[in-house]
Amino acid sequence: MTCSSSMRRRLMAAGLLGVVARPFSALASDTWPARPVRVIVPFPPGGPVDSTARIFTQKLAETWKQPVVIDNRAGAGGTIGAAVAAKEAPDGYTLFLGSIHHAVNPSLMRNLPYDIEKDFAPVSFAAMFPVFVVAHPSVPANNIKELIAYARQGGRTLAYGSSGNGGGTHLAGELFNMEAGTKLQHIPYKGSSPAMNDLLGGQVQLMFSDAPTALQHIKSGRIKVLGVASRKRSDMLPDVPTVGESGLPGYEAYSWAALFAPARTPRPVLDRINADFNATMNDAGVRQRLLQAGAEADPGSQEQMRQRLRGEIDKWRKVIQVAGITAG
């Protein structure tokens, strides 16, 4: 009799647990989102990462039938926004749009207030921002092979401008030096626009430039483009060969944006966000708007993002160590 009562109590407990578990699973997979979703963007309005967010959030709001609100938390190379996002509730109602900075910062900055791999769950890569190798018209090189030969000639210093120390356009130049055996001199600026202004004026001879900064000047003929640094040609300028095609096989550098959620966000919610996000980024209208903003849609699975993020961290750590780059 006692044994039977004990067994009955165990079965009742198991049943109660099942009742509790089923509504939670249903909530995670079926009723999310039940309120507005916030996307933290760790950069100011108007930049490529922010512009990308404004394009896809509009479409996601239509899909989810809930407002998707952008929260710009700029500062400290993207670390302020990342630190805020890492502490948010893991319920799917706060997402974070990180960038190449968040693969670089672990090797460049000490005592970060977050861990990009441990404090976040990957959702999907979002977009790739092609980097174009561009030159002032006075540089007597019309492709990467000619640029390498010209830069290696003794007694000559070629300078390239970047958007700032430790940024993606700086690291692209240092990776080029490592793989091409050149000694291009880095000149950091406070943003891409002032660097481009000095390239136009001839104060620097080269830039490894993001597409939004370079495209109008390439098309106007004020600067010349020697190659695109991504693995394949860009739809923005399909006639421009890759750096690999035009003289430096294997070279690849680009900026990117990727969507994260706080760690411990329920897997059903992550799966739902990934599926809807991929559908959004594969929408023809969204892809066209991104191209016009200088970005190429680049979605994928959560595991693909996890592996790519780890690869980016390892790749840029090596460049930072070899080039002796420090923050500041």
Give long-range contacts, CB 8 A cutoff, 24+ apart: 135-141: 135/205, 135/206, 135/223, 135/224, 135/225, 135/226, 136/199, 136/200, 136/202, 136/204, 136/205, 136/206, 136/223, 137/222, 137/223, 137/224, 138/202, 138/205, 139/205, 139/206, 139/224, 141/226
Q: What is the pLDDT of residues 259-285, one digit of tens each?
A: 999 999 999 999 999 999 999 999 999
Instruction: Please give the Cα distance from 137 to 87 (Å, whole number).
Output: 49
Give long-range contacts, CB 8 A cutoff, 24+ apart: 9-18: none
Domain ranges of the chain: 37-128+255-323, 130-245
- Whether domain 130-245 has CATH 3.40.190.170: the reply is no
> Quick one: 182 exposed, middle or buried, by C-beta within 10 A (0-12, 13-18, 19+)?
middle
Max mean pLDDT range (88-92, 165-169, 190-194): 88-92
- Whether domain 37-128+255-323 has CATH 3.40.190.150: the reply is yes
Q: What is the pLDDT of residues 210-261, one digit of tens each?
A: 998 999 999 999 999 999 999 999 999 999 999 999 999 999 999 999 999 9
pLDDT of 189 reads: 94
CB contact at 8 A, 149 and 155: no
Q: pTM for this one?
A: 0.88
Q: What would the mean pLDDT of 49-65 be, rounded to a whole number? A: 97
Pair of tokens at residue 253: 């550098």
Confidence grade of residue 328 (pLDDT, cut at 50, 70, 90)? low
Confidence grade of residue 17 (pLDDT, cut at 50, 70, 90)? very low
pLDDT of 155 reads: 72
* Type of residue found at 102: H
Torsion region of 280: left, alpha or beta (phi above 0 gives left; psi -120 to 50 gives alpha):
alpha
Inform me whether the pLDDT recorded for 14 exceeds 50. no
pLDDT of 267 reads: 97
pLDDT of 199 reads: 98
Confidence grade of residue 28 (pLDDT, cut at 50, 70, 90)? low
SS3 state of residue 317 = helix
Confidence grade of residue 45 (pLDDT, cut at 50, 70, 90)? very high
pLDDT of 26 reads: 44
Q: Could you check whether 37-128+255-323 and 130-245 share the same CATH topology?
A: yes
Between 15 and 65, residue with greater pLDDT: 65
Inform me whether the pLDDT recorded for 62 exceeds 50. yes
End-to-end Cα distance, the chain = 75
Inform me whether the pLDDT recorded for 32 exceeds 60. yes
Confidence grade of residue 171 (pLDDT, cut at 50, 70, 90)? very high
Share of the chain above pLDDT 70, in %: 91
